Structure 1
């Protein structure tokens, strides 16, 4: 017998549900004109139950119907709200035949209802609300997907995130965890006297990074703007203005490729502290991530999704220079004394694809990004990167070929770059003008003017919130930790 093609009956269900809506309205129960005021979320309501004292605590809860089991004159259903799931018990002899039939005949999976009743525990040990009254407050006119993970179009998980969150508990928990991570970052910084600010998204110069911006035009001013690619330069202006500890959690926009770690619209934390430096940022980021692990995750040890290796955030974190890592990876103690041609030959022998037109440091950095960074699973401060990689950091006084910077790498990806901020306006201008290749960014003359008015020495740091959430939630892709990632238009 040949296997039958599954029939899509969603259109029929849509028609049936619309008919039920019409019948509810005919009875004077218009779901879209009704409301209910819950006294508790589901988990809070269940926490009120006292063992052995059935039907002594009354609650009002509301949520979406996600299971429906009818047994003659009684029904067990479950609803889901922001906090979780709670079971409800409907009985005809409690509600009366008319109201019970309304529930039984007119309600569907996906509908939102509110109920009032008393808590009891079933024979199977599940805390349940014995419903004394109910209200339908929203009729779902389309059915929920039955087997969400079996959908052939995997992008529907991201395209219709609202459905993914209804039926996929792991997805819901991951995105709720993201919110808690951001909240803990704010608490952590505010407790240390950092001031949260908002800086312009529309900017005249795409500064603070080397990236292709999105361009737009302001009609009233007759001026072209770009969506910001970085938060950095405006936050440093605030250091000039006398705000010694400042941070922003905001969106950046880069008109570039999409990958498991890149989205055109992404969230960054940038934090700046006057009279600090890159080592002060080491202490800050370590304390911050450990506090997130303890307060949000309840543990300082997580499993790395790709390798299965356990990552330990407690204790000491490794610190190693960029140059030492390159020497280890290439087996060349004199790597930085080789000619560019020799480096290209050795890079290709390591399996790296190299463009002969690249600058010397770009060849070296290709080895770092492809062969070294992915192996750094435990928290690692990679320090003193080549001066060409960041024009906004201070040069190291002992070795002017490198910068006083670090890249915190965890789980094989960069989580937080930080550095001692360049506050000499003449050196800053020279470093902007000395950029080459893909690292070129426009010179922001207004920022240089601000520096000439005096900026205190400072440490600065950026953390990609999306990447941090990938790491801490075990997600496979940046799309899994963004509520509504950018996608090609659907059909």
Structure 2
């Protein structure tokens, strides 16, 4: 049988002759197919070939570092040259080269790890001809391990005098130029791994996020709340008015939904005897993307038996003040140029209907009358679905005229019953519920209420929601017979709350967009044009 000729390899005209060029052909082909191949990338491949020619591995895993860069800098920041010289032994550090200045026989470079950055000094005289020759093939972006003693330069900068510099990871792509960085916002979000390397503020935001969540957990743990985990895939989604994502379980041939909230499962735990529970986790809502919304987001929900919604107001003031003090050093924070006072006692509490009038400027004859309210909503560009009740229209008026004005912390309470299907009716006025929403910086931060634990009332509310879904509201609740059954066993009086972690992090890091505080926000597939 005649052998078939292998397809000829493309000649990429690399500035090197090496037997190792073949190893990089898949990379070069991929770059060329996307029209990304340029001389800089070719030079990187050429250096990689030269390193392999010299038996230098590109990705070894045997370097042992003894110190973090930030710890090293902090521990020695006050030591003068004499004190540094008296230190025992060298340091072994590892990090990514983020700056490099070469002067022939010597070079200065900075390496960076998760704790900080430090200057290093490489000299042929100190390292030896062979080691220095290898070092000269290093690029900005490479991850290296260095060994040497600490000293100070003439300008006083703490520096590692290298006797050894080993390549640990060869970077095949250059980092963005130092002084320009990543200016394209979409590239920053799409290539967050690069953004974290070159934008110090980005890395700091996500470290702060971790501290916020840790402090929130500590706050709840100290008060006897128990952290739990509930299903993210649910046969019946519930706990919020939102459109869910669909998925399918093949083995059971079962349609499932990604959860829109953990609420109904957490309240089942109240039935089972847990009196204080919370969960920090992801929710998924099939809705639009904006500076305030991402379809996949993080919430903390907690439930407290034998408490009322106004108890949660007090708790929330203390929680937010503590978080601000923990990560910002003060309860008075600046957000987008405005000072916001999160101190306990500085928060305002306003009735929902009073806010429409006193803050939104909407007259009672408009928001109390269905037709007048509907006309006002339509006049200002909002849609009205067939069958929408007055409470839903009043909520749209609130979104238009009140919410954007709530810069300082406001608890808005007393929401209409027909838009609060899981909330307990107010004893004095059953047309409203014992529910509040928290607004700061013109956006909702939390939703809370005294829980509805009457199974008959809950069934009727679910049935009303099912009717609204049948009329075209794809965010209305499903009927959940098992949850009603749980209530029939008896759930203690309780209050519960959900806090949007992403928006909370936005507030405490002064970030204008939710995408700034989510490591990998949802984006269109690369190469797909936007609307």
Tell me the TM-score normalized by structure 2. 0.85
Q: Where does 1:50-69 land on structure 2 (aligned, <5 Å)?
A: 50-52=78-80, 53-57=83-87, 58-69=90-101
Name the structure 2 match of 1:395: 425
Name the structure 2 match of 1:22: 49
**Residues 228 and 9 (structure 1 numbering): CA distance in 2 closer, same or farther, change over 3 Å?**
closer
**Residues 152 and 181 (structure 1 numbering): CA distance in 2 closer, same or farther, change over 3 Å?**
closer
Say yes or no: does 1:11 pair with 2:42: no
Say yes or no: does 1:36 pair with 2:67: no
Structure 2 residue corresponding to 1:445, chosen from 481, 484, 495 = 481
Shift of 1:392: 0.8
Name the structure 1 match of 2:309: 278
* Secondary structure in structure 1 of the residue aligned to 2:297: strand
Does the CA contact (< 8 Å) of 1:21 and 1:30 recur in 2?
no
Does the CA contact (< 8 Å) of 1:352 and 1:366 recur in 2?
no
Shift of 1:139: 0.2
Shift of 1:347: 4.8
Name the structure 1 match of 2:74: 47
Name the structure 2 match of 1:268: 299
Q: Where does 1:7-406 land on structure 2 (aligned, <5 Å)?
A: 11-49=38-76, 50-52=78-80, 53-57=83-87, 58-104=90-136, 106-146=137-177, 154-305=185-336, 308-316=337-345, 317-329=347-359, 331=361, 334-335=364-365, 338-347=368-377, 351=380, 353=382, 355=384, 357=386, 358-406=388-436
**Residues 152 and 376 (structure 1 numbering): CA distance in 2 closer, same or farther, change over 3 Å?**
closer
Distance across 2 between alignment mates of 1:258 and 1:356: 22
* Secondary structure in structure 2 of the residue aligned to 1:361: helix
Q: Tell me, which stretches of 5 or more residues in structure 1 are unaligned? A: 1-7
How many positions carry a matched residue from both structures?
480
Distance across 1 between alignment mates of 2:37 and 2:217: 44
Distance across 2 between alignment mates of 1:290 and 1:330: 27
Structural RMSD (CA): 2.2
Say yes or no: does 1:425 pair with 2:449: no
Distance across 2 between alignment mates of 1:311 and 1:20: 53
**Residues 238 and 371 (structure 1 numbering): CA distance in 2 closer, same or farther, change over 3 Å?**
same
**Residues 153 and 315 (structure 1 numbering): CA distance in 2 closer, same or farther, change over 3 Å?**
closer
Shift of 1:334: 3.4
Distance across 1 between alignment mates of 2:354 and 2:276: 33
Structure 2 residue corresponding to 1:463, chosen from 499, 503, 507 = 499
* Secondary structure in structure 1 of the residue aligned to 2:291: coil
Distance across 1 between alignment mates of 2:70 and 2:102: 24
* Secondary structure in structure 2 of the residue aligned to 1:225: strand
Shift of 1:346: 4.6
Does the CA contact (< 8 Å) of 1:115 and 1:135 recur in 2?
yes
Large movers: runs of 4+ above 3 Å: 55-58, 147-154, 329-338, 344-349, 351-354, 435-439
Say yes or no: does 1:475 pair with 2:511: yes
Which is further off, 308-317 or 330-339? 330-339
Distance across 2 between alignment mates of 1:149 and 1:484: 22
Shift of 1:148: 8.7
Distance across 2 between alignment mates of 1:135 and 1:210: 56
Tell me the TM-score normalized by structure 1. 0.92
Does the CA contact (< 8 Å) of 1:407 and 1:416 recur in 2?
yes
Shift of 1:352: 5.3
Name the structure 1 match of 2:10: none
Shift of 1:394: 0.6
Q: Tell me, which stretches of 5 or more residues in structure 2 are unaligned? A: 1-34
Shift of 1:83: 1.7
**Residues 303 and 400 (structure 1 numbering): CA distance in 2 closer, same or farther, change over 3 Å?**
same
Distance across 2 between alignment mates of 1:344 and 1:444: 31
* Secondary structure in structure 2 of the residue aligned to 1:471: helix
Does the CA contact (< 8 Å) of 1:40 and 1:61 recur in 2?
yes
Distance across 1 between alignment mates of 2:224 and 2:66: 36
Does the CA contact (< 8 Å) of 1:382 and 1:408 recur in 2?
yes
**Residues 248 and 338 (structure 1 numbering): CA distance in 2 closer, same or farther, change over 3 Å?**
closer
Distance across 2 between alignment mates of 1:330 and 1:483: 36
Shift of 1:455: 1.2
Distance across 1 between alignment mates of 2:60 and 2:516: 35
Distance across 2 between alignment mates of 1:18 and 1:102: 15
Shift of 1:266: 0.9
* Secondary structure in structure 1 of the residue aligned to 2:38: helix
Name the structure 2 match of 1:5: none
Does the CA contact (< 8 Å) of 1:344 and 1:354 recur in 2?
no
* Secondary structure in structure 1 of the residue aligned to 2:299: strand
Distance across 2 between alignment mates of 1:122 and 1:484: 40
Shift of 1:401: 1.2
Name the structure 2 match of 1:3: none
* Secondary structure in structure 1 of the residue aligned to 2:303: strand
Shift of 1:25: 2.4
